[in-house]
Amino acid sequence: MAGNVQEFTAANFDEAVLKSGTPVLVDFWAVWCGPCRQVAPVVEALAAKWGATVKVGKVNVDDHPSIAEKYNIMSIPTLMLFKDGVVVERVIGFASQAALEQKFQQHVA
């Protein structure tokens, strides 16, 4: 993971994401997923830009299938924005940084 991007696991997901006092952007991904590799630099750029106001991290769906199942992840990459432990936005597939910023801006300002 890049410096500003955390790894969320079954062990830390509840504390790091659901109980977070700040919005959390979660990238559900897998090593073998081409579009996931495409969106990774976008996620890293958002983490660098929003570092002080939004927590950003990734969940490897192969390593943590219980989390993916809980949030009905059927296709990856899926990016979900959590606020106060609730999913407020979901983007499935590759999206540009500008598109993601526009989609999430109302929740991260």
Query: Token pair of 44, please?
Result: 């890293």
The predicted model scores a pTM of: 0.94
For the question of residue 71 being annotated catalytic, the response is no
For the question of residue 70 being annotated catalytic, the response is no
The whole-number pLDDT of residue 9 equals 97
Output the furthest CA–CA distance in the chain (Å, rounded).
34
Domain residues for the domain of 86 are 5-108
The whole-number pLDDT of residue 2 equals 57
The whole-number pLDDT of residue 1 equals 52
Nearest Cα neighbor of 24 from 88, 98, 105, 83 is 83
Q: Answer yes or no: are the C-beta atoms of 68 and 92 closer than 8 Å.
A: no
**Which of 24, 33, 46, 80 is flagged as catalytic?**
33
List per-residue pLDDT tens for the chain, 109 residues long: 557 899 999 999 999 999 999 999 999 999 999 999 999 999 999 999 988 899 999 999 999 999 999 999 999 999 999 999 999 999 999 999 999 999 898 888 6
CA angle 65–95–24, rounded 5-degree value: 55
Domain count, the chain: 1
CATH number where 23 lies: 3.40.30.10
**Which of 17, 25, 36, 81 is flagged as catalytic?**
36
